[in-house]
Structure 1
Amino acid sequence: MALTTRRRALGTLAAALATGVAAPGLAHAGQGKRDPRPLYRAHAHNDYEHPRPLFDALDHRFNSVEADIYLVNGELLVAHDPIDLDPSRTLDSLYLAPLAARVRANHGSVYRGWRAPLQLLVDIKTEGAATYLELDRQLRRYRGLFTTYAHGKVHTGPVTAVVSGDRAARAPMEAQRRRSAFYDGRLADLGTAAPASLIPLISDNWANNFTWLGTGPIPAAERAKLRGIVDAAHAHGQRVRFWATPDLAGPERDAVWADLIAAGVDHLNTDDLAGLEAFLDARDR
């Protein structure tokens, strides 16, 4: 190999390692192999607050990540609070473009060899209708990347975008005959006429619905309530997630996670990527 060609290849490799995106030509080196099994229940709450948004979650094999967005001067910025807004931290730069690059490198999936879509939960913090319309415009740029709804049918892609946050986003979504995102429902949406093709996910605040925080066994009435919620959602083809569950490392958190899994809850919400990865791996031994 000529010296200049070798230097160029090494530079490409270094850039790939720095960004977490496979370099062109390097993705084929492991062709035929699978990535480690993704953790389908693992949801990275406020994922963008980690040192490497998206990539830290992917390194820990999470299959669901959450990003809060603000519509500012026509751009979608990612932050938890308005004071943290930074024009360089856009939804496109932190999530959309890196996911597109990874899917290209992995020949059509976020995790090479595993076809179940990754969930991108987008939590709208500014007025819902206007913010959603800009989000819709940006998602449509990435043809083939996102799960879509078109004329009554869902077409699964490598990434499924689900819109949470400001509830005014629902009206423009329902009016579309074709869209690249879905809606994050609440417990009040269970049993309504809204189909899973609009609301595939039911999320709610654990503390608003349950008193048990992991000390001692879960009360029988709360266990029955939890399983009733999950059964009702699953009967309609919907998944279930709770936020505000205990998230400090310890036996209480593990007890809540264990009962959520036993009840069939689909996503465990955490800021502790390594902690949930270790918990789920230990249960699979």
Structure 2
Amino acid sequence: MKRITTCFISFILSIQFLAAQGVKSYSTAQAHSHNDYERARPLEDAYEQQFGSVEADVFLVNDTLFVAHNLKDIRPNRTFTALYLLPILQKTEQNGGRIYTQDNVPLQLLIDLKTEGEPTLAALIKLLEPHKNIFAPTGSVKIVVSGNVPDPSLFEKYPNFIYFDGRPEKVYTPAQMAHVGLVSQAFQQYSKWNGEGPLLEKDKKKIQKMINDVHDMGKKVRIWATPDNINSWKTMMALGVDYLNTDKVRELGDYLRTAPR
């Protein structure tokens, strides 16, 4: 009974906090599954929660793209094709060309290149090209390449279904910005907050300025390595972060379904 009462009070405080901040409505479409491939069911757990973004680290080894956090973690059956591409192709076929059954729910696939950028990206494009119709800008799956990305001056040479993960401190030309699909930065660039209590006002102002600047450019923001608890999720929503970064897929999914709309 005590635990139920505590949860209920936490829920009421969440509603009051978000209402007071004038927070826009969030759903699991604004959730990002960090290092998604480390889950027992890569892609599937986040997909069942209808997350809007998932993340996979890839290594190019002998012309094959493997999904792993480190080179030593590579396993023969854990390829990018097996864990992500084939399931996505299957789901879009089942849903009449859409990744989700709803027309207005896209999926962002953030692919972090861990090996040398140019050959790894070339191998990725070779895999994706035959299926480009399901990828943005025309399809419902948006490919955003992070990690060892090419210099922005080279963005235009890549196919239009390849977007890049930008950084808020970089200056892009309008032509380069057209190829930026997302803008990301580490939380530690702005704060050492551990997610307990309120975020320091000076840190909040730094984060808010970055978010406002990126939004003024018409792009969405992801901040990685944020504290991963309800207090932090509420704070990030109040600041207007577009993708809530989490390693707790089910917990964040449950929370967003009960948070105020």
Aligned residue runs from structure 1 range 27-42, under 5 A: 39-42=28-31
Rounded to whole Å, the distance in 2 between the matches of 1:93 and 1:61 is 20
Rounded to whole Å, the distance in 2 between the matches of 1:156 and 1:211 is 40
Secondary structure of the corresponding residue to residue 53 of structure 1: coil
Unaligned runs of at least 5 residues, structure 1: 1-36, 148-154, 248-252
Change (3 A) 1:47 1:121: same
Structure 1 contact 136–179 (Cα < 8 Å) conserved: no
Query: Does structure 1 residue 93 correspond to structure 2 residue 82?
Result: yes
What fraction of aligned residue pairs are identical, expressed as a percent? 38
For 1:193, the aligned partner's letter is: T
Q: Which has the higher contact order (CA 8 A, sep 6+)?
A: 2
Rounded to whole Å, the distance in 2 between the matches of 1:64 and 1:118 is 5
User: 1:266 deviation in Å?
Assistant: 0.5
User: 1:282 deviation in Å?
Assistant: 2.1
Rounded to whole Å, the distance in 2 between the matches of 1:240 and 1:196 is 14
**90, 93, 97: which one aligns with 1:104:** 93
Aligned twin of 2:219: 238
Rg comparison, structure with higher value:
1
Rounded to whole Å, the distance in 2 between the matches of 1:170 and 1:69 is 21
Structure 1 contact 206–243 (Cα < 8 Å) conserved: yes
**177, 185, 200: which one aligns with 1:219:** 200
Rounded to whole Å, the distance in 2 between the matches of 1:43 and 1:129 is 26
Rounded to whole Å, the distance in 2 between the matches of 1:164 and 1:52 is 22
What's the TM-score, normalizing by structure 2? Answer: 0.84
Aligned twin of 1:193: 173
- Post-superposition Cα deviations, 1:120-142, rounded to whole Å, max 9, x if no partner, equal 00000000111011111111021
Structure 1 contact 127–168 (Cα < 8 Å) conserved: no
Aligned twin of 1:275: 251
Structure 1 contact 128–169 (Cα < 8 Å) conserved: no
**56, 62, 85: which one aligns with 2:45:** 56
Secondary structure of the corresponding residue to residue 265 of structure 1: coil
Aligned twin of 1:284: 260
What's the TM-score, normalizing by structure 1? Answer: 0.77
Unaligned runs of at least 5 residues, structure 2: 1-25
Rounded to whole Å, the distance in 1 between the matches of 2:27 and 2:256 is 11
Rounded to whole Å, the distance in 2 between the matches of 1:264 and 1:38 is 13
**153, 164, 168: which one aligns with 1:183:** 164
**84, 91, 98: which one aligns with 2:73:** 84
User: 1:68 deviation in Å?
Assistant: 0.5
Q: Which has the higher helix share?
A: 2
Aligned twin of 1:25: none
- Post-superposition Cα deviations, 1:179-215, rounded to whole Å, max 9, x if no partner, equal 32100011212x5325542112111110122122223
Secondary structure of the corresponding residue to residue 57 of structure 2: strand
Aligned twin of 1:46: 35
Secondary structure of the corresponding residue to residue 52 of structure 1: coil
Query: Does structure 1 residue 256 correspond to structure 2 residue 238?
Result: no
- Post-superposition Cα deviations, 1:12-67, rounded to whole Å, max 9, x if no partner, equal xxxxxxxxxxxxxxxxxxxxxxxxx9611111111111111111111122111101
RMSD of aligned Cα (Å) = 1.9
